Structure 1
Amino acid sequence: MTDKLILGADIGGSHITTGVIGLSSNSLANDSFYRLSIDSHADADAILDIWTKAIKIQLDKWPSIQKVALAMPGPFDYENGISLIRDQGKYLSLYGINVKQKLAQGLALDPANIVFVNDAVSFLAGEIYAGKAKTDESTIALTLGTGLGAAVHENGQTRDIALWQEPFRGFSAEHFFSTRWFIERYSQKTGRKIAHVKALLEVADQEVCVAIFDEFADNLCEFLTGWIGDSKFDALVLGGNISQSSNLFLPKLIQGLGHNGIHLDNWVSELGEVALLFGAVYDGFISRASWSFTNKNKL
């Protein structure tokens, strides 16, 4: 039987990643993982041209594909495909633009065959469908990168919780839990500049690097403790570029949460972006009620 294929795409702050998901085989098609870098500060046409190119390359290679699901950061009008991103330090030029219509025109697809799913929801849904998360547990997912994404799975439902906009120490939470915070904190401590978190790992003065990650862990512990309160959760899963340095902050974070009476199973996603591709496809096109969790094939 021919596998039904749907294209998944992850829109990150510096890239677009695409991959072909086979619904019958519950797998990422061989040689279908593709990524293009992007300048999120470019004008709208330049951004949309790159997104269209990355998707079209896949559609040309896999001509049977007629549906595309995109994991998209918020704020975004997911139903209508209109960008509402304005204060997140990325994709400002897309504000108010109907991205669904623009992509449909560029790809010659029916707009109904292009869907958008919150990126944090996509990540957690992918972890549930193809990763380590369990359907009968209450799980928090955080995507830590150019922005802060957050979702929860509880009572059989996965939903965005928009923690990025929650107040914390006089700012939004995203101010403290994103790449920008690391860049600003390093500059405040040293008077020098870095371009991204990876560069922080390579600075000569590693004591500064360790101190900044310790501070990040303390901040995240304080924030999560306040948000979780008396709620009961079973697990915490991390994704995003910053999570790749989890050895520098996750042990202290978990220790701090434990001291505050919050005990969570925890892990960093092994699937990475593939989780977002799976989650976008299944959350966007397949009813959660029809997912065969008990018989699913893990990657």
Structure 2
Amino acid sequence: MQNAVGIDIGGSHITMAQVDPEKREIIHSTYIREHVDSFGTRETIFSDWVSAIEKAIFGLVKEDLLIGIAMPGPFDYKNGISLMQQGKFIDIYQINIKEELAERLSIASEQIHFVNDAAAFLEGEVFGGCAKDFNRVFGVTLGTGLGTTFYNGEASTDEDLWDSPFKDSICEDYLATRWFVNRYNEITGEEISGTKELLDKPTEIQAQIFQEYADSFAEFIVKYVNNYNPEVLVIGGNIAKTFPYFEQRFNENLAKNNINLPVKISAIFEDAAILGAASYALKRTLIN
């Protein structure tokens, strides 16, 4: 059996685990999560990554190892080259991460595959999550940012709709956590950090804000997502955990536009990108 490892690289952490290809699930006893200084030097970043990866692959036969890595963009996923010029990971800009990791881990570069982090989320849900029985799936991650991805029956692609025109700004300004923070402040003059904190506030304010969010989210589906003709919508990210608070209003808005789109909440949340990265690597190996 192929030794598959899925890795999710974020701005402050690297998380990973071995994946059982037959059971289509993470082997939780191998789960690793470690802090990474993404503003650090090239050597610091690679040392942190490699140290964590070596723990996850300990005891595995390296010749049979397959690594899938979910990475945020901009990134050259085919060649494994970082294209991030601002903020985090600046010191590895235009570095061939695939070759660097392969050399440090003493494996072939062909054993490493990169996939966009939003696409990895949906790959994971299709491979072993809530979307296993569907061929056309649209995935949205609602959290600090807005992630959008589409699975066409073969592979997931990053649709990159976060900065598409929406109302008087862009989609992400109305659908990410900062909208809740800003809207609550407009209404009350007080500060919250996100939806989790909103749930501790008065019911009337909760209801108003979640209804407004439902209106915006439905408008986004009508304007951008319905064109993909998906069989199901999969929602992940922290805001997805509050879906019951705006589900009814959201569905009513879709119905007004003659859209009957089943919604599934992520079955594996944070683990989806890890599972998806591994399944993507397995898929690429079969194709090649």
TM-score range with shorter-chain normalisation?
A: 0.7 to 0.9
Which secondary structure state, in structure 1, belongs to the residue aligned with residue 16 of structure 2?
Answer: strand
Alpha carbons of structure 1 residues 230 and 26: separation in structure 2 relative to 1, 3 Å? closer
Q: Does 2:252 correspond to 1:255?
A: yes
Please report how far the alpha carbon of residue 231 of structure 1 lies from its aligned counterpart in structure 2 after TM superposition. 5.1
For the residues of structure 1 that align with 2:185 and 2:83, how far apart are their CA atoms?
A: 30
The number of residue pairs the alignment matches comes to 284
- Please give the per-residue CA displacement for 1:214-249, whole angstroms capped at 9, x wherever unaligned: 222211111110114555322111112221222222
Gaps of 5+ in 2: none
Alpha carbons of structure 1 residues 183 and 136: separation in structure 2 relative to 1, 3 Å? closer
Alpha carbons of structure 1 residues 137 and 101: separation in structure 2 relative to 1, 3 Å? closer
Gaps of 5+ in 1: 291-299
1:11 to 2, 9, 12: 9
Partner of 1:55: 53
Partner of 1:297: none
Task: Check conservation: 2:126, 2:134, Cα contact below 8 A.
Answer: no
For the residues of structure 1 that align with 2:274 and 2:47, how far apart are their CA atoms?
A: 20
Amino acid across the alignment from 2:258: G
> What does 1:132-281 align with in structure 2 at a 5 Å threshold?
132-134=130-132, 137-154=135-152, 156-202=154-200, 204-229=201-226, 232-281=229-278
RMSD of equivalent CA atoms = 3.0
Alpha carbons of structure 1 residues 257 and 71: separation in structure 2 relative to 1, 3 Å? same
For the residues of structure 2 that align with 1:200 and 1:171, how far apart are their CA atoms?
A: 24
Amino acid across the alignment from 2:268: L
Partner of 2:40: 43
- Please give the per-residue CA displacement for 1:153-186, whole angstroms capped at 9, x wherever unaligned: 2354432211113221243322222223333333
Q: Does 2:79 correspond to 1:80?
A: yes
For the residues of structure 2 that align with 1:231 and 1:174, how far apart are their CA atoms?
A: 19
More displaced, 247-256 or 55-64? 55-64
For the residues of structure 1 that align with 2:276 and 2:180, how far apart are their CA atoms?
A: 28
